[in-house]
Amino acid sequence: MDADEPAPHEVPPGTVPHDLLATADLVTAGALSPRGRPPRAGVALGRPLAYTLPPAHTAGTTVLLCFPFDLEELPAGCGYRQVGLEVLFDDENLRALDLHPGAGWAGPDGARATASGIGGNRPRWTFRARHTGATLAPDGRWAQAVLASPVPLTEISGRVRVGGVIEHPLLSGTRAEGEVRTRDDVPFRLSRADIWTGAPLARPTPGPAALALAGLGEAGPPDDRLPPGRRHLCLAVDIERYSARGNADMIRAQRALLRVVRAACARAAVDWDACGRQAQGDGYLLVLPPDTDDTRAVPLLLAGLTEALATVNREPGTGIRMRAAFHHGIVHEGDSGYAGSAVVELFRVLDCDPLRTLLADDPSTDLVVAFPDRTYQDLVVHGYEGLSPAGFLRTDVRVKQFTGVAWIRAQRPVGRALSLSEEPVTSERPRSD
């Protein structure tokens, strides 16, 4: 980061409109690309707007929070390819019950949005331009979350961060993309007196808050409402003989595993930030966005895993072998992880003895893959490009109370070597998982 790049700052009271929380510069994220620096950019963060809703818990509080923001105009020829807003609440008791815009939302300009974080206290939204070559209008945007606390709230506080991808021209006449982000998180704090009650819900003042309320409706969610269940493609991976490693080697293995999964996503052009991600020490669960084309993503992810694993295992001291499984079905984002019968079946297949034995008995491969029967019949048998049924073996799966059928195969690298310096499609520097 350059020393002359100013940090985000909270606006001094009395010098700007009361509804402006802060203005912040969007600075270059990470090392500069050799292809050039994106132009200076900025964001104006509106003061969060809060409204009470009927409580999800008898003794608790349910609120609707709106986060308006404006992107700074860019020089001619430059544009925002995407922008992400993340909120980190200080209160660990807060839980997001609903987010809007949500998955599949499309704006009037064709921009699309995704959201993640239901069940937690770190909601995140990403807005993307509608197609390659298009950019987002730097007009006012907003994101909103319905939050519940099991206890009465006296205040709501936290931090906001913004990141994005800017497309800009080069002297050569070509175009490049550069990542930007707020250098520091911007704090906010709302007292109980700042939270609107009663009448504003029925006739909110026009603006971002009104649009958010219109999208939600006026009724609060019941206390037994499930988080949204959507059909997702899921990938699970697990390292062989992880518990037999020493502490330092476990850390190296975890890092190698994450590099492999991220490189596979880059190979398949899967947006890392749009995926649900759940680290499990010796394994990893990836929940792809609901609009994913399974017929394209599965063969490319499988090829990416195979190639990236071969690459990482050529490096001294980082060798890992692993099992992988794909499945699709209805998935819920619960309070402590992803839930649904598809997730359970995915991990039962990943843990089954025949898949473990196949890896242990075949020293010529470092990766074996499994598909539950339903996913195998939906995808593999049809011979989609890059995904052949050749070499798959049918096997019975019996793990705990689960019984079923799976198809398993040893994978061997083919085609190009995959550089682990490739970055996944992402809107900002990745979080530590």
Q: Give the CATH number of the domain where residue 337 resides.
A: 3.30.70.1230
Residues 17 and 135 occupy one common structural domain: yes
In a domain, 37, yes or no: yes
Q: Among 216, 238, 266, which residue terminates a domain?
A: 216
CA–centroid distance for 28 within its chain:
21
For the chain, list residues with pLDDT below 50: 1-17, 31-34, 198-223, 416-419, 421-433
d(CA 154, CA 355): 53
Any bridge partners for residue 181, and if so which? 27, 163
> In this prediction, what percent of the chain has a pLDDT beyond 70?
79
Number of domain units in the chain: 2
pLDDT at 395: 95
In a domain, 393, yes or no: yes
Quote the tokens at residue 411.
């994978």
Residues 241 and 329 occupy one common structural domain: yes
Residues 192 and 308 occupy one common structural domain: no
In a domain, 422, yes or no: no
Answer for the pair 429, 30: CB distance below 8 angstroms, yes or no: yes
Answer for the pair 372, 345: CB distance below 8 angstroms, yes or no: yes
Residues 240 and 360 occupy one common structural domain: yes
pLDDT at 215: 40
Residues 154 and 301 occupy one common structural domain: no
Helix or strand holding residue 307 (H, E)? helix 294-312
Strands (E), 90-128: 95-100, 105-106, 112-116, 124-128
pLDDT at 369: 97
Q: Among 192, 216, 240, which residue terminates a domain?
A: 216
Q: Among 150, 183, 216, which residue terminates a domain?
A: 216
pLDDT at 1: 36
In a domain, 62, yes or no: yes
Residues 205 and 234 occupy one common structural domain: no
In a domain, 338, yes or no: yes
Residues 207 and 237 occupy one common structural domain: no
pLDDT in tens, 304-313: 999 999 999 9
Which are the contacts of 308, defined by CB distance < 8 A and separation ≥ 6? 259, 260, 263, 264, 267, 418, 420
Strands (E), 183-225: 186-191, 195-196
Residues 112 and 243 occupy one common structural domain: no
In a domain, 428, yes or no: no
Residues 238 and 201 occupy one common structural domain: no
Q: Cβ–Cβ contacts within 10 Å for residue 423, how many?
A: 14
Any bridge partners for residue 166, and if so which? 80, 178
Answer for the pair 38, 64: CB distance below 8 angstroms, yes or no: no
Which are the contacts of 282, defined by CB distance < 8 A and separation ≥ 6? 238, 239, 242, 243, 250, 253, 254, 257
Residues 243 and 385 occupy one common structural domain: yes
Residues 206 and 78 occupy one common structural domain: yes
pLDDT at 210: 37
pTM of the model: 0.52
d(CA 23, CA 14): 15
Residues 197 and 297 occupy one common structural domain: no
Range of the domain at 347: 229-411
In a domain, 89, yes or no: yes
In a domain, 429, yes or no: no
